[in-house]
């Protein structure tokens, strides 16, 4: 009897040690918010339903199915256009505080401009927003997540500064029709990503491939578009609606084996600083290292002006300070070293940066070629942002992991566990002002050039059934428990 009692106590003791090691007894601050993210083209389907106009992703996938590994597209996908209630129920089942989704520009403005306003499109988003509010889930709306109106691409899209005015008019319509209920706005998702892959490269829509020029023009106009939308809100809507407007930036953290801080700083500035410095730094404008290097390279190429466009003082001032929070999408990190040979295409942002990127053999790899789990990179990145931009309020707008098709998604659970540990650590031990964390993604969805071959969802979608049922994976239960306890469960 005594012996079995002793064994029992010893077992409990061991279990507690294990939980203390894996889980965390520390809690997220009371006002910390948890959410989950998605984007219109990746989940909605209904690509031409009820008056929606074509976006550049509709055209890209229809005209060039060979550019998508499984030759698929977002025509139907998870069909959130019909089954949005399933999405909202899924968000509710996890007790999430907010749902971040994006608005398809052409569902509302079929040609991208005010020629025609599609009330059916407005109605669709009203239904989502109203249901979220009914469930006490905060809607967080991304205004632009890669799906530019095809009609505006005819004018050059983000390579033409005319986009700034069209974006402002689109923003005005959204603030006007949804601003009474939407208090969190994200103007543009990952400008560097769609500009590098879609304007500098050809693997994302619109596939311009004007490397070394297109990506710089695109980011330039994206920054201006963001800034005018921000000012519009502050001028015309803030007093009445009291919402927040921000932008979502993607970045890795970069390490050097030889502790080469010059090279690390250059890589950080060319990646995150490219977009963040003009908005969040105390001096505004692009980072000096970008301005100097691209000017030098351009000169050596015989050009009269730099391939990096310049901001007038008016624009520097207009862009600076235009974000109520720092939206951060973090997935992975890299080691870097200065390249001894010219790297990347001639010219290109990769060549202008001049560094080689590599990974470590011990890093665990997801189903995406580029995705390695480096949780410490998130902690280091958040500390870097705190130091570089004077501790802004950060909303982690995306963090996620790809695998093949499985409900027992243990690798995703481990990924969230390890990354949230870093988030908790920087809040409690480094005083980083991180206010919220959002999972990418709610349901399995169209992963751009990878089609449906990589799964990022916490909910599996039965793609072969017309009803597209959503089924929670193990990671959904993990997040549900985490949110309930407000601390990280052991795994
Ligand atoms: C994008 C998402 C994408 C995810 C995974 C982010 O760059 O915002 O649209 O699905 O990464 O690749």
11, pLDDT greater than 60: no
Whole-number Å distance between alpha carbons of 132 and 92:
8
Binding site membership of 189 for ligand 1 (Cβ less than 6 Å): yes
* pLDDT at site 19: 44
Mean pLDDT of the chain: 96
Distance 447 CA to ligand 1 centre (A): 7
Binding site membership of 318 for ligand 1 (Cβ less than 6 Å): no
* pLDDT at site 9: 46
* pLDDT at site 297: 98
Neighbouring-strand partners of residue 254: 334
Question: Does the predicted TM-score (pTM) go above 0.85?
Answer: yes
Per-residue pLDDT of 152-199, as tens digits, reads: 999 999 999 999 999 999 999 999 999 999 999 999 999 999 999 999
* pLDDT at site 310: 98
Alpha carbon of 383 to those of 378, 390, 391: distances in Å?
A: 9, 10, 9
* pLDDT at site 23: 78
Catalytic one of 44, 138, 190, 421: 190
Binding site membership of 39 for ligand 1 (Cβ less than 6 Å): yes
Binding site membership of 440 for ligand 1 (Cβ less than 6 Å): yes
Whole-number Å distance between alpha carbons of 285 and 247:
16
Grade residue 12 by pLDDT with cuts at 50, 70 and 90.
Answer: very low
β pairing state of 364-365 and 138-144: unpaired
The question of whether 393 is a catalytic residue gets the answer: no
Grade residue 24 by pLDDT with cuts at 50, 70 and 90.
Answer: confident
Distance 332 CA to ligand 1 centre (A): 12
Distance 128 CA to ligand 1 centre (A): 22
User: Domain ranges in the chain?
Assistant: 37-485
Instruction: Choose the residue to mutate in 271, 440, 448 for probing ligand 1, maximizing ligand atoms within 8 Å of C-beta.
Output: 440
| CATH class of the 37-485 domain in this structure | alpha beta
Catalytic one of 398, 447, 454, 480: 398
Across the range 344-361, mean pLDDT stands at 98
Whole-number Å distance between alpha carbons of 456 and 448:
12
426, pLDDT greater than 80: yes
4, pLDDT greater than 80: no
Distance 9 CA to ligand 1 centre (A): 47
How close are the terminal C-alpha atoms of the chain, in Å?
32
Q: What is the helix (H) or strand (E) element at residue 338, kind and residue range? A: strand 334-338
Instruction: Choose the residue to mutate in 448, 455, 458 for probing ligand 1, maximizing ligand atoms within 8 Å of C-beta.
Output: 448
Per-residue pLDDT of 384-394, as tens digits, reads: 999 999 999 99
Distance 102 CA to ligand 1 centre (A): 12
The question of whether 338 is a catalytic residue gets the answer: no
Distance 42 CA to ligand 1 centre (A): 9
Grade residue 240 by pLDDT with cuts at 50, 70 and 90.
Answer: very high
- Closest ligand 1 atom to the C-alpha of 441? 10
Binding site membership of 444 for ligand 1 (Cβ less than 6 Å): no
The structure tokens 């809040």 sit at: 427
54-72 core/surface letters (b: 16 or more CB in 10 A; e: else): bbbbbbbbeeeeebbeeeb
252, pLDDT greater than 50: yes
Neighbouring-strand partners of residue 358: 335
- Closest ligand 1 atom to the C-alpha of 450? 12
Binding site membership of 190 for ligand 1 (Cβ less than 6 Å): yes
């Amino acid at each position: 009897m005594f012996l079995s009692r002793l064994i029992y106590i010893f077992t409990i003791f061991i279990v507690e040690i294990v939980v203390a090691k894996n889980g965390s007894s520390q809690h997220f601050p009371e006002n910390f918010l948890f959410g989950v993210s998605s984007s219109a083209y990746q989940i909605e389907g209904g690509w031409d339903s009820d008056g929606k106009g074509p976006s550049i992703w509709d055209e890209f996938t229809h005209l060039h199915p060979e550019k998508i590994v499984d030759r698929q597209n977002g025509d139907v996908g998870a069909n959130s256009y019909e089954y949005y209630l399933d999405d909202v129920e899924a968000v509710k089942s996890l007790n999430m505080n907010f749902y971040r989704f994006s608005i398809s520009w052409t569902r509302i403005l079929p040609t991208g401009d005010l020629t025609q306003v599609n009330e059916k499109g407005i109605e669709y988003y009203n239904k989502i927003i109203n249901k979220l509010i009914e469930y006490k889930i905060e809607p967080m709306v991304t205004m632009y997540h890669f799906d530019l109106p095809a009609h505006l691409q005819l004018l050059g899209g983000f390579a033409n500064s005319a986009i700034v005015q069209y974006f402002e008019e689109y923003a005005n319509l959204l603030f006007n029709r949804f601003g009474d209920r939407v208090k969190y706005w994200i103007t543009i998702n990952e400008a560097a990503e769609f500009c590098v892959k879609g304007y500098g490269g050809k693997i994302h829509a619109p596939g311009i491939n004007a490397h070394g020029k297109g990506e710089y023009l695109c980011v330039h106009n994206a920054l201006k578009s963001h800034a005018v939308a921000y000012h519009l809100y502050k001028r015309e809507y803030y007093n009445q609606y009291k919402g927040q407007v921000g932008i979502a930036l993607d970045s890795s953290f970069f390490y050097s084996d030889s502790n080469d801080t010059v090279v690390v700083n250059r890589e950080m500035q060319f990646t995150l600083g490219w977009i963040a410095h003009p908005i969040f730094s105390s001096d505004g404008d692009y980072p000096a290292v970008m301005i100097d290097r691209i000017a030098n390279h351009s000169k050596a190429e015989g050009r009269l002006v730099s391939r990096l466009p310049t901001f007038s003082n008016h624009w520097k001032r207009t862009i600076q300070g235009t974000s109520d929070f720092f939206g951060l999408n973090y997935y992975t990190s890299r080691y870097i070293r200065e390249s001894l040979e010219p790297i990347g295409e001639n010219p290109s942002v990769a060549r202008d940066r001049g560094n080689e990127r590599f990974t470590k053999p011990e890093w665990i790899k997801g189903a995406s070629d580029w995705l390695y789990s480096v949780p410490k990179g998130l902690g280091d990145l958040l500390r870097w942002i705190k130091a570089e931009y004077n501790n802004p309020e950060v909303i982690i707008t995306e963090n996620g992991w790809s695998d093949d098709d499985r409900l027992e998604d243990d690798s995703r659970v481990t990924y969230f566990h390890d990354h949230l540990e870093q988030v908790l650590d920087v809040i409690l031990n480094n005083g980083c002002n991180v206010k919220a964390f959002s999972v990418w993604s709610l349901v399995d969805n169209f992963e751009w050039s990878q089609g449906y071959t990589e799964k990022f969802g916490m909910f599996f979608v039965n793609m072969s059934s017309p009803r597209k049922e959503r089924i929670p994976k193990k990671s959904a239960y993990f997040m549900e428990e985490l949110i309930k306890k407000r601390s990280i469960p052991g795994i």
